[in-house]
A and B are shown apart, each in its own frame.
Chain A
C-alpha cells in the first residue's frame, strides 16, 4: 500500500528520468499543456509506471487522464 504522496513521487520520478522534466509538478498540472507530453510520451510514461507499480492499465483508463492528479488517482484506485 502506497500513500498518495509516494505515488506522486513515482510519477515525478518517471517524468524526470524519462523526459528530463525539470519544471514544477503539481496535482493540477495538465499533462499536455503544463508538462508538455505528447501521445508517444504518454505511452512511455505508462510503460514506466506499469513497471514501477506492477499494474497494467487499459486504454480506456488512460484516455481520460488529463492531469497529474488523474494519474495519481488511477494508480491509487488500483493499488
Chain B
C-alpha cells in the first residue's frame, strides 16, 4: 500500500517537475532570450549568457526533482566539468542526462537533434544558445572543432542516441574526429541511472517502483592522440579512439552493476 502511494506520488512529482521545466523553458523563450537579443549585441556573449540561464534553469529542475523525491543525484568530481574548453563525452542512459551535465557546466555547447527544432519548448533555447543541429554531417565536426578552439566546452554523446538498458550502444566516431582535430581536453563522464528510467521510447509517467538514483562520475581526462598513436590515417585513428573508449565505458558500467 505504502509502496503504491509512494509510486503514485512520484508519478505526480515527475509530472510537476516536467511541467515546471516546460513552463520555465517557455518563460525563458518568451522573456530572457528575446531580451538578450536586444540587450546583448555580441553573439558569443549572448550565447554564453543564455547558456548560463539554461544552466541555472537545469540546476533548479534537478533540485526540484530531488526535493519532490523522484530523484537522488550523486556527483563525483563535478567541479572538473566546469572547466572551459573541454570536450565532455558521456554515456546516455536517460532523457535527463543532458540536464544533469549542463547543470554542472555554466557554459556548454550541445548538439541537438533535428526534431527538437520543431519543439516549441526547445526551439527558443536552441537558437539563443548557439546549440548545434545534428543534421550537418561532417560540417558538424568542423563546427564542434571551431567551438572548442574558441575555448568553449562541448558535450557529446558518442552513441548518438540513448544507451540500451543497463549497457552501452555502438559508438559513432564524430566525437573522435572532433577530439583529434581540436586537440581539446577529452573528459569522460560516466552516468548511471538505477533503476533505468526515461529510456528511449519510455513515457515520462512510467516511473520505476523506487526512487531513481543517478550518479554522474566525472572521470580523468584522456589524450586521444595517445589512443590513436601510430594510426596511419584519421579513419583508423578515429576507430581506435572509439573502440578504446567504448571498452572503457563497457567495463566501467559492468563494474558498477549492483
Q: Within the assembled complex, what's the spacing in Å between the Cα atoms of A20 and B240?
A: 11
Q: Are A40 and B177 in contact (CB under 8 A)?
A: yes
Give the number of residues in B that approach A within 8 Å (Cβ atoms): 14
Cβ contact within 8 Å between B234 and A40: yes
Residues of chain A lying within 8 A (CB to CB) of residue B137: 39
Chain A positions 6-59 with a Cβ under 8 Å from a chain B Cβ: 17-20, 38-41, 43-44
User: In the complex, which of the residues B232, B236, B238 contacts A40, with contact meaning CB atoms closer than 8 Å?
Assistant: B238
Interface size on A, residues (CB 8 A): 10
Q: Mark B221-258, 1 if CB is under 8 A from A, else 0.
A: 00000000000111110110000000000000000000
Residue in B closest to A43 when the chains form the complex, CB atoms? B138
Q: Are A19 and B235 in contact (CB under 8 A)?
A: yes
CA distance A17 to B141 in the complex (A): 23
Bound-state Cα–Cα, A44 to B234, Å: 9
Chain A's closest residue to B236 (CB) is A20
B172 lies within 8 A of A38 (CB): yes
Smallest CB–CB gap between B111 and chain A, Å?
A: 14
Q: Chain A residue with minimal CB distance to B239?
A: A19
* C-alpha spacing A56/B4, complex, angstroms: 67
Interface residues of A (CB under 8 A from B): 17-20, 38-41, 43-44
